[in-house]
Amino acid sequence: MKKEKKIKTANGFEYFAFVSYNKEDERAAKAMHRTLEQWRLPASLVKKREMERRPMRNMFFAPSNIVPRELEEELKRNLEVSEHLIVVCSPTSAKSEWVGFEIDYFCNLGRKDKVHLIIVDGEPKSQDAEKECLHPNLKKHFKDLLAANIKEKHFKLPYLNRQRAYVQLIASMLDLNFDVLWKRHQRRLIERCFMIFLLVVAFVLSLFAVYQMSKPIDVRLCLNEKTLHNSNLPPLSNAKVSLQIGENTFEKTINTFDDTLVFSPIPRSSLKESARLKIVCKDWIEVDTTLIPTKIMCIDMSRNPSVYGEYEGELCSYKTGETLANYKFSVEGVECVTDENGRFKIFVPLEKQKDTMLLKCDLNPQGFPVMFRRDNGVTFYPDYEEEDNE
């Protein structure tokens, strides 16, 4: 039987990293492991940093790499010959005895700076024990530790969120600038998409190149309110609509959902071409999209919930001047608790939002009106009483 040739890392370790995970997370751990081992660094970085093109190609991943001997001793040996430790974090791994053992043993080797986290499920530092994804042994060895998180919603596509988390992990292990590495990776994805886009555009243009239509038509546009209507908030008004078709740009204003805009004259051939539609209105989410124009177009508009409902600030006692730490209060019935510094973040559902909302707490059970809108970071004093000016 041919003996497998062992590849040493740049720093002389047998494995680049030891992947610590719970069996319930095996699928996510395997996807990460496969991506990291196959990862190719840009040629410019390889030359500049004198690194291998695939620096992470040799990683320890149980059970495929495990040798059938006493488990604890085998794990110790492989931890000792691994340069990095990757902890796959989830609510199940946070309760795993073996994951805790691997964290403790690796940290006791004096390589705490080589511990890296990637969250595949759950929440770090959660108040709900069932959602907590960080193992208690991590908190024992580290006061604070950054983690890549595949669940963070930076993009609409989960694939892009996973890729971003992998790049964060790679940048941390290879001591590379994340922004530089991520931009290079994005360019790779964009180049692939752009090539596909060019092929699609060329095919579409070839199909419609024979059609020459010059008769102008009218294009009608109406708006629909997609979010739940809230009469306490300002209605749609003064919405700026811009429709760009080819070299022509049409700009109009719409003030109610009952209005209909008419764009004319527009060449009939434009119905086969891509156009850009942009709608900007105060307190509403901006629409900026490309579409194929039709004679009648209905576009959904959604209120921006964060304009009124997403707030942060702090609560203080007016009488003592001290911040109200771990203090319960509510805004329009939505309950919240301040942190140890008296800071809070709260989101009021769109249907409960108003220009002025009622904040209630033990110091002021009757409540007092507060105006949050676009004033994030303000301080409120629940026990404040106006003094008589006699």
Q: State whether 21 and 170 are in the same domain.
A: yes
Query: What CATH number should be reported for the domain holding residue 221?
Result: 2.60.40.4130
Residues in the chain, overall count: 390
Residue 212: pLDDT over 50: no
Domain membership flag for residue 95: yes
The C-alpha torsion from 189 through 195 and 200 to 203, rounded to 10°, is -170
Q: State whether 62 and 113 are in the same domain.
A: yes
Residues linked to residue 118 through DSSP beta bridges, in sequence order: 88, 148
User: For residue 143, what pLDDT is reported?
Assistant: 82
Across residues 181-188, what is the average pLDDT?
A: 84
Report the range out of 13-27, 202-216, 218-232, 365-379 with the highest average pLDDT: 13-27
Could you tell me if 101 and 69 are in contact, meaning their C-beta atoms sit under 8 angstroms apart?
no
Report pLDDT digits (tens) over 295-334: 888 999 998 887 777 788 899 999 888 999 999 999 989 9
Please state which of the ranges 77-86, 100-109, 341-350 shows the lowest mean pLDDT: 341-350
Q: Which of 301, 318, 337 is the endpoint of a domain?
A: 301
Residue 5: pLDDT over 70: no
User: For residue 69, what pLDDT is reported?
Assistant: 61
Query: What CATH number should be reported for the domain holding residue 155?
Result: 3.40.50.10140
pTM of structure: 0.48
Q: Which of 301, 336, 356 is the endpoint of a domain?
A: 301
Residue 7: pLDDT over 70: no
Quote the CA–CA distance of 158 and 155 in Å, as a whole number: 7
Which tokens belong to 46? Answer: 């390889």
Q: State whether 317 and 294 are in the same domain.
A: no
Query: What CATH number should be reported for the domain holding residue 343?
Result: 2.60.40.1120
Helix (H) or strand (E) holding 280: strand 275-280
Q: State whether 324 and 358 are in the same domain.
A: yes
Domain membership flag for residue 189: no
Which is more confidently placed, 390 or 285? 285
Residue type, 65: N
Phi (first) and psi of residue 3, to 5 degrees: -75, 135
For 335, residues 6+ apart whose C-beta sits below 8 A from its C-beta are 328, 329
For residue 363, what are the domain limits? 306-380
Instruction: Work out the mean pLDDT of the chain and round it to a whole number.
Output: 85
Q: State whether 361 and 273 are in the same domain.
A: no
Residue 92: pLDDT over 90: yes
Across residues 356-379, what is the average pLDDT?
A: 81
Count CB atoms within 10 A of the CB of residue 282. Answer: 12
Domain membership flag for residue 31: yes
Tell me 113's DSSP state: G
Q: State whether 234 and 316 are in the same domain.
A: no
Tokens 């942060």 identify what position?
312
Q: State whether 169 and 229 are in the same domain.
A: no
For 38, residues 6+ apart whose C-beta sits below 8 A from its C-beta are 54, 57
Domain membership flag for residue 233: yes
Q: State whether 297 and 313 are in the same domain.
A: no
Q: State whether 250 and 313 are in the same domain.
A: no
Domain membership flag for residue 258: yes
Q: State whether 119 and 144 are in the same domain.
A: yes
Please state which of the ranges 85-94, 183-192, 362-371 shows the lowest mean pLDDT: 183-192
Domain membership flag for residue 126: yes
User: For residue 339, what pLDDT is reported?
Assistant: 94
Of 356, 236, 353, which is closest to residue 306 (Cα–Cα)?
353
For the chain, percent of residues with pLDDT exceeding 90:
37
Domain count within the chain: 3
User: For residue 137, what pLDDT is reported?
Assistant: 92
Q: State whether 121 and 166 are in the same domain.
A: yes
Helix-, strand-, coil-residue percentages of the chain, each rounded to 5: 30, 30, 40
Q: State whether 284 and 314 are in the same domain.
A: no
Domain membership flag for residue 339: yes
For 252, residues 6+ apart whose C-beta sits below 8 A from its C-beta are 241, 261, 263
Domain membership flag for residue 257: yes
Pairing type for strands 296-301 and 275-280 reads unpaired
Residue 228: pLDDT over 90: no
Q: Which of 257, 282, 301 is the endpoint of a domain?
A: 301
Quote the CA–CA distance of 50 and 52 in Å, as a whole number: 7
Report pLDDT digits (tens) over 11-57: 788 999 999 999 999 999 999 999 898 888 877 777 777 778 788 88
